[in-house]
Structure 1
Amino acid sequence: MKGSKPKQSKSQSGLIREGIFGFNDGLVATIGLVSGEALSHQPHTAIVIAGLSAVGAAVVSMAVGSFLATSSENDFMRREIQEQAQAIDRHPHRERHHVLRLLDEIGVPDEHNHEVAKSIIATRPRWLKFMVRENLGIHQNRAEAPLKNSLVMGSSVLIGSAPPILPYLFSLPLVTARDVSWSLSIIAALGLGMVKGVLTRTPLLKSALSFGVLVSLSALVGALIGMGLGALGA
């Protein structure tokens, strides 16, 4: 159809989800940490070491978590399909009634219901495919790749962690490095929000501001903790 756009597959949507989630997690967690370190008057070296240590742990943790979550989802999907296949083999009469019910739910006219159902159950692969899609809501060709998801997640966490830490790698006064870190982080958050807005076709300003507010709150919490710890250690 003219003017229509191809739909994204579930695997593509999964990669976008992992990318946005990973970038945001790396950015939010790191800006909170380095803000706390900076406002507790730690030297540059300590801030960088703490930041990089946290980033390394986050990259591994989030990548492994993404891999396990995707693998578990795929395993669950395969089990559901297997159970549906067994249901067709063991209770064909009941499953035929399910086909009729599903056809009625999706709006097939009553006068064509039995004819369409007969065509569906004529072959077992077609019957199983119909039940898997309409009864379980599963599309077998849209399974996500665990390794690819984990690589995107880990890379995104690493990239998202860069803006808060980068200023502390240079010989800047602590206050200047802190302010630049905050500025870069907020710019990165606004940019991520706009990218998300473009991908999801939601208002860009609203999307950008929501990410910006999240990062600002994280920086504020980290700053308050750092100030409190600094005061206790004074």
Structure 2
Amino acid sequence: MYRTMAEGGKDAELQKNLLHQHEEKHFMAGEIVRDIIMGVSDGLTVPFALAAGLSGANAPSSIILTAGLAEVAAGAISMGLGGYLAAKSEADHYFREQKREEDEIIKLPDTEAAEVAEILAQYGLEPHEYGPVVNALRQKPQAWLEFMMKFELGLEKPDPKRALQSALTIAIAYIVGGIAPLLPYMFIPIASKATLASVGLTLVALLFFGYTKAHFTGNKPFQSALQTALVGAIASAAAYGMAKAVA
């Protein structure tokens, strides 16, 4: 028996209600978190290693602080610019591939339709099941293009604000991370004492950062905290040892 339009409408309304009741909770700010992690991790370790190295060379607190702040400024600009260029390159790549795919849909529609069928067949669909989908997409060029971009090329349309957002996020995160190892040098004039305070403060910051990072990445919190602190400790120890050897 054929279903009436009223029955179809009721089914659509039922599906809508079910979707509303079942709200999946997915973390949607992955790119921002990635930028923050990148900025803070480098901000904590690089100025920390620089300060430790200068301390190993017996530099006074004022010199260490000046050099550290200069590095934080330069690092924030460099990291931010790198994030901007990376996001811009991803966007440029997406639109180049989109133009190429659009041309292929216009010039080689049968070939592209066969590729759609092949993609759907990989999900276990039979020809009589994916055939109507292929035909429907051929009637909707924009949907067809978006399907090919996502399922054939694995590309998501980039946010036009992504490049600038990435640059600012990484730069600010780098500054926030970079200030922590330098704080003791702002208040303690004796370099050796300031270095000990910097080591303690930075290790605590690394442990906290590693623990917090695990919350967003799904890793084990304590393991992540220890790994992050270990990387920072190795970097600073290497810089301090090299400076001592040269001085």
TM above 0.5, one fold?
yes
The answer on 1:229 being equivalent to 2:242 is no
State which of 34, 55, 61 in structure 2 corresponds to 1:17.
34
Unaligned runs of 5+ in 2: 1-18
Q: Provide the residue aligned with 1:93 in structure 2.
A: 110
Determine the C-alpha separation between the residues in 1 that align with 2:127 and 2:224. Answer: 45
Q: Provide the residue aligned with 2:133 in structure 1.
A: 116
Q: Provide the residue aligned with 1:148 in structure 2.
A: 165
Q: Provide the residue aligned with 1:47 in structure 2.
A: 64
Q: How does 1:53-202 map to 2 (within 5 A)?
A: 53-140=70-157, 145-202=162-219
State which of 202, 208, 212 in structure 1 corresponds to 2:229.
212
Contact 2:47 2:68 in 1 (8 A): yes
C-alpha deviation, 1:172, in angstroms: 4.3
Q: Which amino acid aligns with 2:143?
A: R
Unaligned runs of 5+ in 1: none
Q: How many residue pairs were aligned? A: 228
Q: Answer with 214-223 or 163-172: which moved more.
A: 163-172
C-alpha deviation, 1:162, in angstroms: 1.1
Q: Provide the residue aligned with 2:50 in structure 1.
A: 33
Contact 2:48 2:181 in 1 (8 A): yes
Determine the C-alpha separation between the residues in 1 that align with 2:198 and 2:183. Answer: 7
C-alpha deviation, 1:3, in angstroms: 7.7
Considering only CA atoms, is the larger Rg found in Structure 1 or Structure 2?
A: 2
Residues 39 and 25 of structure 1, relative CA distance in 2, 3 Å threshold: same
Q: Answer with 130-139 or 168-177: which moved more.
A: 168-177
Contact 2:51 2:68 in 1 (8 A): yes
Taking structure 1 as the reference length, the TM-score comes to: 0.92
Contact 1:14 1:144 in 2 (8 A): no
Determine the C-alpha separation between the residues in 2 that align with 1:130 and 1:142. Answer: 18
Residues 211 and 4 of structure 1, relative CA distance in 2, 3 Å threshold: farther
Q: Which amino acid aligns with 1:21?
A: M
Residues 17 and 143 of structure 1, relative CA distance in 2, 3 Å threshold: farther
C-alpha deviation, 1:141, in angstroms: 5.9
Q: Which amino acid aligns with 1:229?
A: V
Contact 1:31 1:222 in 2 (8 A): no
Determine the C-alpha separation between the residues in 2 that align with 1:84 and 1:141. Answer: 16
Residues 71 and 141 of structure 1, relative CA distance in 2, 3 Å threshold: closer
C-alpha deviation, 1:173, in angstroms: 2.9
Contact 1:36 1:222 in 2 (8 A): yes
Determine the C-alpha separation between the residues in 1 that align with 2:233 and 2:59. Answer: 21
C-alpha deviation, 1:5, in angstroms: 4.0
Determine the C-alpha separation between the residues in 2 that align with 1:197 and 1:128. Answer: 37
Question: Tell me, what secondary structure is at the counterpart of 2:193?
Answer: helix
Q: Provide the residue aligned with 2:27 in structure 1.
A: 8
Contact 1:81 1:132 in 2 (8 A): yes
Residues 133 and 142 of structure 1, relative CA distance in 2, 3 Å threshold: farther
Question: Tell me, what secondary structure is at the counterpart of 1:140?
Answer: coil
